[in-house]
Amino acid sequence: MEAAADGSAAAPLSEVEASTDLPTVPSEDATSTVEATLVPDQSFGGNSTVVTDTTTDVQGQAEESAVLTEEDRLWNIVMANPADFTAWTSLIQEVDKSEAPDRIHRVYDKFLEEFPLCYGYWKKYADHEIRWGSHQSTIAVYERAVQAVTYSVDIWTHYCSYFISKQEDPDEIRRLFERGLSYVGSDYMSHILWDKYLEFEVGLNEINRISQLYTRIIQLPIQKLDHYYHSYKQFITLHTLSDLQTDEEKIATMAAMPATTITEANNVEAGAAEGVVDEEGNMMGAKVEGSVKQEQGSEWSEENELAKFNYFRDELYKAAKEQDARISDYESAIRRPYFHVKPLDDAQLANWHRYLDFMEKEGDFAKVVKLYERCLIACANYPEYWIRYVSHMDLQGSMEYAVDALTRATQIFVKRRPEIHLFAARFKEEHGDIEGARLEYQFLNSTLAPGLLESIVRAANFEYRQANIDGASMVFTSAIEYEKSKEESRALPYLFIQYARFLDQVVQDTEKARGVYADALAFLPLSKTLWEALIHFETYRSGPKDLERLESLIEEATSAPKPDVPGLSAVDREEISNIYLEFVDLFGDLERLKKAEARHRHLFPLRKTLESRKRSSDGSGSDRAKMLKVSASSPAQAGGPAYANGQSQWGAGYGQQGYVQPSQAWQQQPAQQAQAQPQQWNAAYGPQPAGYNAYGTYGAYGATQPQALPPPQQQPAAAYGSYAQGYTPQAFPQQPAYPQQPAYTQQQAPAQQAYYPAYY
């Protein structure tokens, strides 16, 4: 169920109720054991004991110990897959029945490490502590909650409500309200917290404080702005101007008053002492007459001051209404402002991008940050928004914000997504953290996504940029050996191809590159992709062609297979022979060409060849024409765009990796809105120095269509292809320990806090 239209109620727990927001700096309490959840803690299952009779036989003991409770069964599921949200919620429901503090602590702590944005479960956790009668433990849970979901209006409202019920000092309560409002006071749905604050001050009959709260609210473009404005207008009619004014306004009023009026006020005070003032505070006799005459000759009056008071607040309200009109379309399109594990629809994803475009163009840094934090509630599972946030903060020179956002992304929210770690590696390299970048690549290639071609190529290029040729070669050879150990590997042919190209075009060792192809074909003699790649290699590399060696290899590949010996299919052999004919026609002499043609006619009758070529022209035969077209139209590319296309270009051969990423590509805007989009999010990787020409454009081998590079404006941030969710769980020790937020210390006097009070 979605949140209520007016935002007055959050979605139920079944929908992961959360107007949940992200903290500026992850709390040490809330996230200190995040890594532990990636390699599941074996203590998870230690919440029940199976007691066996020591007198039973061994078989009976084994049967009894094999019986698991429902709680044990659910623990086993979340141990195996910590990202299984449904299993977690079922486990929490099961444990809640026990009312056992140790078991409840364990399940809530582990769950909220994995899903810290679920503010509703923080509330449930605090409610358990309240039932157990522990005030300090309840406060501790709420403190952890507001560190983990700092931008949640709901969790601040619950915290303040509890604090009001337990705290007798109104200044302490005000400090907590002000602390929460410094983060979420301008949230479009922040009225529930403002309502709670007004309710508190009304209960104390603090007229001046109520007036000041209304003044603050009516200058904010929030959902219930009109409601607050009309309520304030009614409130003003019930109280005197002096009760409503701030201290500054009172001083200004006194400065504007004529001296005679001030004297009158002083006389009233003196008259009260002399007994010449009536019960209602009015002066009697000649003193009153004189003061009235003086007032009649003066321009100052309380009515004028009240008009000024109202005019000032009306102007604040008008400015807020103008801003509300500019953002209301964006706000109304946000159908799910809270976190949920289910994917968002494309319309909402596109709306967030457009809203961010608008706010970035406005240029108010504080508002931009708050909007990003709101966005990263609903879009926490989408790497493209994290990449955009980090990139924008970097562009603005706000490295603390950028590093904090990247840390949250890689360690908590999208820690199992390869693209965020690829981005993190590039980001760290750009900012001089070479060892950090290397560790990111090592983690990707050894733990998170071994065999992912994109990551392997980038890691090798990274080592090359560090003048570490041996390290770059080691990346390829290690990946090749790993893929060889598999029973079946779709990535292996392309790893051989990329390694050979690296040796030829970067290391300038053509013979070693030829050796890689020889080893590859010895290991994968039935790979049509490798045979085509070898011919392509000899065709497009500069220098003399090794025609004799290539001819012998082609003869071996295209010969009819021997009995009981597997070989290429007849269609594949004919297509390879056709490609070789084109090669010889281009580079060989007449005698070699005649020999190749004669051999081809002998192996493949003319009719079959014509049919094969017809299939090729129809798109169902050899891809060599497409290969030549792609190669001819793909000049040397700067590394960045080529690598952005690197994964998709191997599509048909490398195959789908099991998980189709939810659509994240936001719709292109009309031309008149194009100026509001200062950057494209995949461009956040920045241009990569070209290691060698056309690296990553080798799209013909195994592809079913030309893989031309997309124009830059069509590259979504997460366009690395499809990644499996079943990667080995992450253990992420390499991240540097960024400064954590100090524990909150109550101040001695209430004060309006700065936008980001000491959290960076």
Cβ neighbors of 49 (< 8 A, separation 6 or more) are none
Measure Cα distances from 61 to 47, 52, 71 in Å.
19, 6, 20
Task: Residue 107: name the closest of 139, 147, 75 by CA.
Answer: 75
State pLDDT tens for residues 186-209.
999 999 999 999 999 999 999 999
**Phi and psi dihedrals of 248, rounded to 5?**
-65, -40
Could you give the CA distance from residue 71 to residue 484 in angstroms, rounded to a whole number? 41
Confidence of residue 257 (pLDDT cuts 50, 70, 90): low
Confidence of residue 440 (pLDDT cuts 50, 70, 90): very high
Model-level pTM? 0.68
Measure Cα distances from 526 to 95, 110, 517, 538 in Å.
56, 49, 13, 19
**Phi and psi dihedrals of 264, rounded to 5?**
-60, -45
Residue 398 has pLDDT above 50, yes or no: yes
Question: Tokens 């078989």 appear where?
Answer: 59
Instruction: Kindly state the greatest CA–CA separation across the chain.
Output: 134
CB 157 within 8 A of CB 198: no
Identify the weakest region by mean pLDDT among 203-212, 565-574, 646-655.
646-655
Could you give the CA distance from residue 509 to residue 531 in angstroms, rounded to a whole number? 20
Model pLDDT, residue 37: 32
For the segment 682-688, the average pLDDT, to the nearest whole number, is: 38
H/E element holding 651? helix 651-654
Residue 476 has pLDDT above 60, yes or no: yes
Structure letter (DSSP) for residue 714: G
**Token duo for residue 489:** 């590997």
Instruction: List, as own/partner pairs, every contact residues 294-299 make where C-beta atoms lie below 8 angstroms and the sequence separation is at least 24, other chains included.
Output: 294/258, 294/260, 294/261, 294/264, 295/260, 295/261, 295/264, 298/258, 298/260, 298/261
Confidence of residue 608 (pLDDT cuts 50, 70, 90): low
H/E element holding 144? helix 135-148
Model pLDDT, residue 231: 96
More confident residue, 302 or 657: 302
Measure Cα distances from 37 to 78, 251, 417, 522 in Å.
10, 59, 16, 43
Confidence of residue 263 (pLDDT cuts 50, 70, 90): very low
In the chain, residues under CATH classification 1.25.40.10 are 13-247, 418-524+636-652+677-728
State pLDDT tens for residues 346-361.
999 999 999 999 999 9
Could you give the CA distance from residue 114 to residue 91 in angstroms, rounded to a whole number? 14
CB 201 within 8 A of CB 171: no
Could you give the CA distance from residue 142 to residue 152 in angstroms, rounded to a whole number? 12
Tell me which amino acid residue 33 is.
T
Q: How many helices (H) and strands (E) does the chain have?
A: 36, 0
Cβ neighbors of 315 (< 8 A, separation 6 or more) are none
Could you give the CA distance from residue 250 to residue 238 in angstroms, rounded to a whole number? 18
Confidence of residue 459 (pLDDT cuts 50, 70, 90): very high
Tell me which amino acid residue 217 is.
I
CB 337 within 8 A of CB 4: no
For the segment 301-313, the average pLDDT, to the nearest whole number, is: 87
Confidence of residue 553 (pLDDT cuts 50, 70, 90): confident
Model pLDDT, residue 247: 79
Model pLDDT, residue 604: 85
Q: Which residues of 630-641 are buried (b: 16+ CB within 10 A; e: fewer)?
A: bbeebeebebbb
Model pLDDT, residue 548: 81
Question: Tokens 């765009």 appear where?
Answer: 641
Measure Cα distances from 577 to 236, 362, 420, 581 in Å.
92, 62, 43, 6
Measure Cα distances from 381 to 90, 280, 414, 661, 683 in Å.
21, 66, 6, 11, 20
Could you give the CA distance from residue 441 to residue 85 in angstroms, rounded to a whole number? 28
State pLDDT tens for residues 41-97.
333 333 333 333 434 444 544 444 557 899 999 999 999 999 999 999 999 999 999
For the segment 666-685, the average pLDDT, to the nearest whole number, is: 40
Could you give the CA distance from residue 502 to residue 471 in angstroms, rounded to a whole number? 13
Ordered alpha helix ranges (H), 363-466:
365-378, 383-395, 399-408, 418-430, 434-443, 453-465
CB 295 within 8 A of CB 261: yes
For the domain spanning 418-524+636-652+677-728, the CATH number is: 1.25.40.10
More confident residue, 463 or 558: 463
Identify the weakest region by mean pLDDT among 411-415, 480-484, 539-543.
539-543
For the chain, report the end-to-end CA distance as a whole number of angstroms: 36
Across the strands, what pairs with 654?
Answer: none
Tell me how many degrees the CA angle 333-148-181 measures, rounded to the nearest 5.
65
Across the strands, what pairs with 283?
Answer: 277
Report the mean per-residue pLDDT for the chain: 74
Half-sphere exposure of 115 (CA within 13 A, CB side): 27
Query: Three-state SS across 279-292?
Result: CCCCECCHHHHHHH
Domain 13-247 belongs to what architecture?
Alpha Horseshoe (1.25)
Could you give the CA distance from residue 200 to residue 176 in angstroms, rounded to a whole number? 12
Could you give the CA distance from residue 107 to residue 355 in angstroms, rounded to a whole number? 37
Residue 733 has pLDDT above 60, yes or no: no
Residue 233 has pLDDT above 50, yes or no: yes
Structure letter (DSSP) for residue 689: P
Identify the weakest region by mean pLDDT among 370-374, 531-535, 730-734.
730-734
Tell me how many degrees the CA angle 644-344-348 measures, rounded to the nearest 5.
90
Other CB atoms within a 10 A radius of the CB of residue 178 amount to 17
Share of the chain above pLDDT 70, in %: 64
Model pLDDT, residue 684: 38
Model pLDDT, residue 450: 93
State pLDDT tens for residues 5-48.
333 333 333 333 333 333 333 333 333 333 333 333 333 333 33
Q: Which residues of 521-533 are buried (b: 16+ CB within 10 A; e: fewer)?
A: beebeebbbbbbb
Q: Tell me the DSSP string of 49-80.
A: -----TTS-HHHHHHHHT---HHHHHHHHHHH
Across the strands, what pairs with 277?
Answer: 283
More confident residue, 699 or 165: 165
**Phi and psi dihedrals of 535, rounded to 5?**
-65, -45
Model pLDDT, residue 569: 84
H/E element holding 602? helix 590-603
Identify the weakest region by mean pLDDT among 174-178, 250-254, 338-342, 569-573.
250-254
Residue 256 has pLDDT above 80, yes or no: no
Could you give the CA distance from residue 419 to residue 382 in angstroms, rounded to a whole number? 10
CB 528 within 8 A of CB 576: yes
Residue 389 has pLDDT above 80, yes or no: yes
Identify the weakest region by mean pLDDT among 79-83, 166-170, 540-544.
540-544
